[in-house]
Structure 1
């Protein structure tokens, strides 16, 4: 069984996905609502798979200045737990732990190294709440690939990754430096890992990313294919449209 760590922040306006706020018509509150919806879909996909779900959140004292105050005094843990609880069929399916580290790569390193070396799990992976199209089949496929390859990566658009799974640790220092898919591959090859890959999925970090995901979700829904429930519902409420002007652009 692979342990999948979902590394997340409390969905607070002004804290999550600042690049999406800057590059889309969405307000900080709307972006935080979308982040929460995507987090629900990602943890639901992991729960539905054969993996063990670990929700790895940044506590209040580790958040950047301006992001350390929750609504009505709620703690980061309480906010994350409330979002995740809404998405799970079994409220006890998730384990919650705080993230430790100054950078994202450092937090991934501490989490995965602890799981692989400290807890002795067979395989461990890191994902973020920005890949709403993640399905249980992707998580289970990765677990199967990790039986024969010590590193499995899920490539995303722009050279990014949405999934990074390992049977043994690598050197995670700056391992997510762009293009992350190449950097992580090189780190795996440096320790003689066989590397395998999952199908490419889009991630949502900017307005251009969201325009791409929105068109794909609407096409899939018209075709009667599976779509992420919470993200799709949130985007319906936001009333966004996509126009073609030097690429895909979001509008209202």
Structure 2
């Protein structure tokens, strides 16, 4: 089974989705609440899949001083998992190690593959609420025949990066990570890379607008939606409407 590592910051105002408040109707506190909701949807999807969920949180000593609180990062992410899942018995919680996102992701993948003997490892940033149980399982099947499997997000982002072997992770998640990860895999002899269907990621108001439009459409069609994210969107009355120039824009009803 694939170990799926959810790379997670504690959901704190100004730390979570820092560009969202400046580019959307949400404030910093709401951006943190949305980050928490999306993380819970991803936890639930992985938990229901054939993968093993590892919540890989950024510990307090790696957080900017302005975002350190009296509540530990581990306690906050454990609370999210307890709200999302019925049973935490099979869920692992481990602190991230490393000074940059690339280093932290690389350390996690390398440790699990080389030290723990995992057959395959995936890292998931948690800002893609449409990750599903089926998608996680399909990615695991792709990893049987490929060393790297990537899920493309918007603007070159990735919502899933699976590995059967290691690559040079030193700058793997530099913008755009989709291209960097593919290029690094190409540098390894006999590595093959496969891609999953594209899914919307959330970092800015424009990207959130894509998620809002999809969730609103799925609710209208009575189709399955990511529960926690959809609940927040409906509570806040978020919709996509036209601005004065006729362009789509994210607004509150």
Q: TM-score, normalised on structure 1?
A: 0.96
Aligned partner of 1:112 in structure 2 is 109
Aligned partner of 1:205 in structure 2 is 203
Query: What aligned pairs does 1:89-108 form with structure 2 within 5 A after superposition?
Result: 89-108=86-105
Structure 1 runs of 4+ off > 2 angstroms? 244-248
Find 1:223's aligned residue among 214, 221, 224.
221
Find 1:81's aligned residue among 75, 78, 82.
78
3-state SS of 2:67 partner: coil
**Deviation of 1:25 (Å):** 1.3
CA deviation profile, 1:93-152 (whole Å, cap 9, x unmatched):
310000011111110000000000111100001001100010011100000000000100
Contact 1:212 1:248 in 2 (8 A): no
How far apart, in 2, do the equivalents of 1:80 and 1:126 lie? 16
Contact 1:30 1:238 in 2 (8 A): no
Query: What aligned pairs does 1:15-94 form with structure 2 within 5 A after superposition?
Result: 15-69=15-69, 73-94=70-91
What runs of 5+ residues in structure 2 fail to find an aligned partner? none
Instruction: Quote the RMSD (CA, aligned, Å).
Output: 1.1
CA deviation profile, 1:38-96 (whole Å, cap 9, x unmatched):
11000000000000000000111110121111xxx211110110011111122213100
**Deviation of 1:183 (Å):** 1.1
Query: What aligned pairs does 1:116-131 form with structure 2 within 5 A after superposition?
Result: 116-131=113-128
How far apart, in 2, do the equivalents of 1:224 and 1:25 lie? 26
3-state SS of 1:66 partner: helix
Aligned partner of 1:142 in structure 2 is 139
Aligned partner of 2:149 in structure 1 is 152
Q: TM-score, normalised on structure 2?
A: 0.96
CA deviation profile, 1:177-229 (whole Å, cap 9, x unmatched):
22221111111111131110110000011000101100011111211221000
**Deviation of 1:243 (Å):** 1.6
CA deviation profile, 1:3-42 (whole Å, cap 9, x unmatched):
0000001111111111001111111111111111111000
CA deviation profile, 1:164-189 (whole Å, cap 9, x unmatched):
00000001111122222111111111
3-state SS of 1:214 partner: helix
Find 2:188's aligned residue among 187, 191, 196.
191
How far apart, in 2, do the equivalents of 1:119 and 1:106 lie? 18
How far apart, in 2, do the equivalents of 1:114 and 1:63 lie? 22
How far apart, in 2, do the equivalents of 1:115 and 1:186 lie? 22
Aligned partner of 2:250 in structure 1 is 250
How far apart, in 1, do the equivalents of 2:179 and 2:162 lie? 15
